[in-house]
Structure 1
Amino acid sequence: MSTIHRFIGEKNNFSWEDVEVTTYGQGEGPNAASKRELINEARDGAEHFVFRYFRIMPGGSSTMFDKHIHDHGVLILHGHCKVTINERVFDAGPMDVVYVSPNDVHHFVVDGDEPLGFLCVIPNKKLLNSDQPFVDTCLL
């Protein structure tokens, strides 16, 4: 079912109509982060992918170093971060695109005094062809 979720947010605090927010970390402190599934199968009927927006407060990170059996693409919308992929560290900022290959260890750390906001696309977990369970243990 095709749909539009209208943007109702503001600078550095994005929000969309009919899209729930899931909060991670503790309150509005350095560990606070939130996730919004902008397009998903349950609400929108998207069978092949999940399109998400994350916001991480200054001093925060994507919780831990992690890896998944799926790849994903990330587009930084606002803020700056240090991205670790395996043992390499990269600076990233607005409009930079990050590709994380399957099973690469990755971690995003906010760099600066403004929140980090990014879009992230992953495959629908039902499409993953593996004996490993799909475990989304971090924000990405």
Structure 2
Amino acid sequence: MTSTKIKAKRAARQYTWEDVEVLTYKSEGTAPFKDVTRQVLFDDPHLAAQWRYFEVAPDGHTTLERHQHVHAVMVIRGRGACLVGTEVFSIELHDLIHVPPLTWHQFRATLNEPLGFLCLVNSERDRPELPGSEDLQLLRQNPDVAAFIRV
């Protein structure tokens, strides 16, 4: 019988956890984003999933990107908006967002408060794909999307 170490991660303070490093969202210069951090809360090969917490500072935004894997997102702090595909949604506490494979997505915080969300993804996943000029041209055909996206 194998023994598995059981580990509980207590909240160190609001929106941070013991023994969980607050990381930069991405390396500077690799993709456009503004004021985002990430924390990997759970990563277990038996489940093949990773649970992460992202925090977007007021008026910040994540990268406009897409992947082959699915995202399941739950807002646990603040309010903001997100692009999923060709639709922009207002989001707030406890909202659930499903991002299907190969779907453009981006998250933005409001001007006056941070946006924090949990994100569940595959542990092994593809790298993000950034939009090219043709992709941006297609996305910007929708005036709501054109006004929302930051690149």
User: What's 2:148 paired with?
Assistant: none
Structure 1 ranges of 4+ moved more than 3 A: none
User: What's 1:97 paired with?
Assistant: 96
User: What's 1:131 paired with?
Assistant: none
> Sequence identity, in percent?
28
The within-5 A match list for 1:59-78 is 59-62=59-62, 64-78=63-77
Of structures 1 and 2, the larger Rg is shown by 2
Q: Aligned partners of 1:124 and 1:34: how far apart in 2?
A: 19
Whether 1:38 aligns to 2:41 is yes
The alignment of Structure 1 onto Structure 2 pairs a total of residues equal to: 121
Given that 2:65 and 2:128 are in contact with CA atoms closer than 8 Å, whether structure 1 keeps it comes out as: no
Which residue of 121, 127, 139 maps to 1:135? 127
TM-score normalised according to structure 2 size: 0.72
| Aligned-CA RMSD value | 2.1
Whether 1:5 aligns to 2:9 is yes
Whether 1:52 aligns to 2:56 is no
Shift of 1:24: 3.5
Gaps of 5+ in 2: 131-151
Higher strand share: 2
Gaps of 5+ in 1: 129-133
Q: Aligned partners of 1:108 and 1:137: how far apart in 2?
A: 16
